[in-house]
Structure 1
Amino acid sequence: MPEDPLQRAQTRYLIHHWGAHTQPVFTKAAFSLEAATATERHQDWLRELERIDELLREAKKSSEGPFFLGDKFTFGDLALASFLTRVFLVEHFQGEGSFGFKFPTSSPKLKRFLEWRDAVVARKSVVETLPGKEALIELYNKHVK
């Protein structure tokens, strides 16, 4: 954890917020099986990611690098790395052929989130320790069916 009390608090809050708010909304969006609720759940999830984007922009030193607290990979990044590698699953399961969901990769409201996610999931230690996309799809296929 960071030495700076404000950075420690921001890190704890980000991790708590993700677990209490972002992850439950992600699960509902990724596994929505009814067209009547799918679009609403996708929009709820995107709004939640916009809130994460705000948290990233507000964090001390976040603007100085791609990771949560700047240019160094820290506990906040590590704690959420496995979740960040799963963000693509909503589009995979809810995209073409089902509900037509397309992740808005050019949204200015998600710019900082996308920069952070991309930096975390590309980090060598994350790539080497977490399952790849194909393994995650196979794992989640069991839950979708």
Structure 2
Amino acid sequence: MPVAWAEYVAELPSQYGQRPEAPCTPTIIELLGRDSADILMGEVLAIREQVYSSGYRDGVARIRVLKKLKGAAKWNVGETVDVSVLFTTREELARVRPGLSLLLFSGRNYSHELTIDLDDACSPVPASETDLNLVRQGIEQDYSAADTPN
């Protein structure tokens, strides 16, 4: 075990919590469309930083739901939802600004909560026509609905 542990530690990034960022390729966006349980298109109305008594901080984005692309049974078009924004620096948090249209994904890793993780290269995904088309292609590849019992 000591050899395996030494190898594991050697492969860790130099600072805890940092990992090499993989680019958000068209293939990954398409896979998000296929593998996410819920996908919304939304517009950022407001963003704020929230600091907890423990000193932990995260962001909260108020999002207006513009379109349901997949699943998203508990969210309705036109309503506003608060979405957690995970960030490391305030500069990262500034990437999410009012007026920005985004594609939001949930249902990855068994979570059905909408979250924007700014340490993830594919979060947030802009709601551009190109990215929308990639997500739609991914949705067409999701055959999981056929696997559920009637």
Highest RCO, 1 vs 2 (Cα 8 Å, sep ≥ 6): 2
Indicate the structure with greater strand content.
Answer: 2
> In terms of Rg, which structure is larger?
2
Indicate the structure with greater helix content.
Answer: 1
**TM-score, length of structure 1 as denominator length:** 0.28
